[in-house]
């Protein structure tokens, strides 16, 4: 009674679906549609551009003292005005970006490298090794990071290098915890069990299976820690413990501005704005990346 035809092939060309379906999109497309990501990427690029630009050109001089031009309001020559020593604010902001980026990059780099190694080891070895590493990481939570950074820089001397080391040390437990948590989830997966059954060593599994799959989480966390590092560097410089003069630093600019609040209130606005925009940009970038690198869409190796 019924024709046993290949019905799919002979389906006529008029609409056979109740609704048309939306097309799935590639990463680049989705990235450009994601508001947080775009804004974050823009601001972060601005930050990096400012720092790079400062090596080649600044509108005025960030270092030259010129007492005649002290505390001027913004003009065509000094776009954002001058500080108490006649130095151009706009230039200081551009050069200050260098300190923020340097501290952020290196401190997070330290924390990332050492923290990830510790986390991977903890997840691979389990047992008492894991316990010790995690207890140590938990323990550091009793010490507010800023407090310890202040202690370390005070004991070992103020300056950008020590600030970087202090902030870097406090990134280690954060990355260790997050690495271990994500790595443990991967270790529990079936294909890892299969790899172990085939006799693959733990380090091989860690490098080939675990690390590529937690990379997305680490990237997102790194951008967030970068933002926190910038805030920490600013706080340390504000207290006089971070980047030292004559190297411009946004935090120190704020502390100088505070003493002149009644005479030149705008001095306090620009450096703080620079910090806020940089941190905002990095946070938005991190949030955007987190949404875009959703585990549903990463292919597992």
Partner 1 sequence: MSIFLLKRLLTLVATLIGASIVVFAVLEVLPGDAAQMLMGPDAEPEAVTAMAQQLGLDQPALTRYWQWIAGLLHGDMGESYVYGSPVTELVWERLAVTVPLAIMAMCITAVLAIAAGVFAAANHKRWGDVGLMGLAQIGIAIPNFWFAILLILLFSVKLQWFSAGGFPGWSEEAGGGFWPALQALLLPAIALAVVQAAILARITRSAVLEVLREDFVRTARAKGLSRGAALWRHVLRNAMIPVVTVMGLQFANLLAGTIVVENVFYLPGLGRLIFQSISNRDVIVVRNCVLLLAAMVVVVNFVVDVLYAAIDPRIKAGDI
Partner 2 sequence: MALLEVSNLTINLQTHRGRAQAVRDVSFTLERGATLGLIGESGCGKSLTALALMGLLPEHAQVDGSIQLDGQELLGLSERQLCALRGNRMAMVFQEPMSALNPVHSIGRQVAEPLRLHLGMSRAQARARATELLERVGIAQAAQRLDEYPHQFSGGQRQRIMIAMALACGPDLLVADEPTTALDVTVQQRILDLLQELVAEHSMALVLISHDLGVIAQNAEQLLVMYGGTVVESGMTEAVFARRAHPYTRGLFAARPQLHAAEGTVRLPTIAGAVPELVDLPAGCPFAGRCAHTQDECYVERPQPRTLHQPSMAAPASLASWRQPHVARCLYEQVLTAGART
**Which window, 107-115, 179-187, 202-210, 256-264, contacts partner 1 (CB under 8 A)?**
256-264
Q: Which of 74, 215, 272, 293 lies at the binding interface for partner 1 (CB under 8 A)?
A: 272
Taking the C-alpha atoms of residue 84 and residue 262, their distance in angstroms, rounded to an integer, is 13
| Stretch binding partner 2 (CB under 8 A), from 15-23, 61-69, 199-207, 284-292 | 15-23
What is the C-alpha separation between 288 and 291, in angstroms, rounded? 5
State the number of binding residues for partner 2 (CB under 8 A).
18
**CB-based contact 298:213 (threshold 8 Å):** yes
Kindly tell me which of 5 and 76 has the beta carbon lying closer to partner 2. 5
User: Which one of 13, 18, 28, 142 is in contact with partner 2 (CB under 8 A)?
Assistant: 18
Interface with partner 1, residue 283, by CB under 8 A: yes
Q: How far is CA 201 from CA 197, 205, 206, 215, in A?
A: 10, 6, 9, 20
CB of 26 to partner 2, least distance (A): 16
3 vs 301, which CB is nearer to partner 2?
Answer: 3
Question: CB-wise, 18 or 142, nearer to partner 1?
Answer: 142
Packing angle between helix 160-187 and helix 145-156, nearest 10 degrees?
A: 140
Angle, to 10 degrees, between the axis of helix 211-238 and the axis of helix 160-187?
150
Q: Which of 21, 135, 299, 301 lies at the binding interface for partner 2 (CB under 8 A)?
A: 21
**Across the chain, which distance is largest between two alpha carbons, in Å?**
103
296 forms part of the interface with partner 2 (CB under 8 A): no
CA distance 19 to 145: 55
Where in 141-200 is the site for partner 1 (CB under 8 A)? 141-147, 150-152, 154-156
Kindly state whether residue 289 participates in binding partner 1, applying the rule CB under 8 A: no
4 vs 76, which CB is nearer to partner 2? 4
Under the binding rule (CB under 8 A), the answer on residue 231 touching partner 1 is yes
212 lies in the site for partner 1, by CB under 8 A: no
How buried is residue 153: exposed, middle or buried, by Cβ count under 10 Å (0-12/13-18/19+)? Answer: buried
Q: Establish if 20 lies at the interface with partner 2 (CB under 8 A).
A: yes
Separation of alpha carbons 52 and 95, rounded Å: 9
Kindly determine how many residues on this chain lie close enough to bind partner 1 according to the rule CB under 8 A: 38
Which class for 242: exposed (0-12), middle (13-18), buried (19 or more C-beta within 10 A)?
buried
Rounded Cα distance between 174 and 121, Å, is: 15
Footprint of partner 1 on residues 235-254 (CB under 8 A)? 235, 238-239, 251, 254
Q: Name which position in 71, 84, 129, 280 contacts partner 1 (CB under 8 A).
A: 280
Residue closer to partner 1, measured from CB, 207 or 261: 261
Nearest to 225, CA basis, from 113, 104, 45, 140: 104
Whose Cβ is closer to partner 2: residue 13's or residue 263's?
13
Q: Could you tell me the two tokens for 205?
A: 């599994």
Q: Per CB under 8 A, does 14 bind partner 2?
A: yes
For residues 122 and 135, what is the distance between their CA atoms, to the nearest angstrom? 11
Q: Any idea which residue has 């092939």 for tokens?
A: 9
Using CB under 8 A, list all residues that contact partner 1: 139, 141-147, 150-152, 154-156, 227, 231, 234-235, 238-239, 251, 254, 257-258, 261-262, 265, 268-269, 271-272, 275-277, 279-280, 283-284
């Amino acid at each position: 009674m019924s024709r046993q035809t290949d019905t799919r092939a002979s389906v006529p060309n008029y609409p056979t679906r109740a609704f048309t379906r939306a097309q799935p999109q590639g990463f680049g497309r989705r990235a450009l549609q994601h508001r947080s990501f775009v804004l974050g990427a823009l601001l972060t690029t601005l930050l990096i551009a400012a720092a790079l630009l400062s090596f080649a050109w600044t509108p005025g001089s960030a270092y030259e003292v010129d007492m005649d031009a002290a505390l001027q309001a913004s003009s065509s020559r000094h776009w954002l005005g001058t500080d108490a020593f006649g130095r151009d604010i706009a230039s200081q902001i551009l050069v200050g970006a260098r300190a923020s980026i340097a501290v952020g990059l290196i401190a997070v780099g330290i924390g990332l490298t050492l923290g990830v190694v510790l986390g991977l080891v903890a997840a691979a070895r389990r047992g008492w090794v894991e316990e010790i590493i995690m207890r140590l990481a938990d323990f550091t939570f009793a010490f507010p990071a800023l407090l310890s950074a202040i202690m370390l820089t005070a004991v070992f001397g103020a300056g950008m290098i020590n600030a970087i080391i202090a902030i870097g040390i406090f990134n280690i437990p954060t990355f260790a915890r997050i690495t271990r948590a994500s790595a443990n989830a991967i270790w529990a997966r079936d294909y890892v069990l299969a790899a172990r059954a085939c006799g693959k060593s733990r380090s091989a599994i860690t490098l080939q299976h675990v690390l590529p799959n937690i990379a997305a989480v680490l990237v997102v966390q790194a951008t967030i820690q970068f933002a926190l590092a910038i805030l920490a560097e600013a706080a340390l410089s504000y207290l006089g413990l971070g980047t030292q003069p004559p190297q411009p630093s946004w935090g120190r600019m704020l502390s100088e501005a505070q003493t002149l609040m009644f005479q030149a209130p705008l001095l306090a606005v620009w450096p703080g704005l620079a910090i806020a925009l940089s941190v905002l940009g990095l946070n938005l970038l991190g949030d955007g990346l987190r949404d875009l690198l959703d585990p549903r869409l990463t292919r597992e190796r």
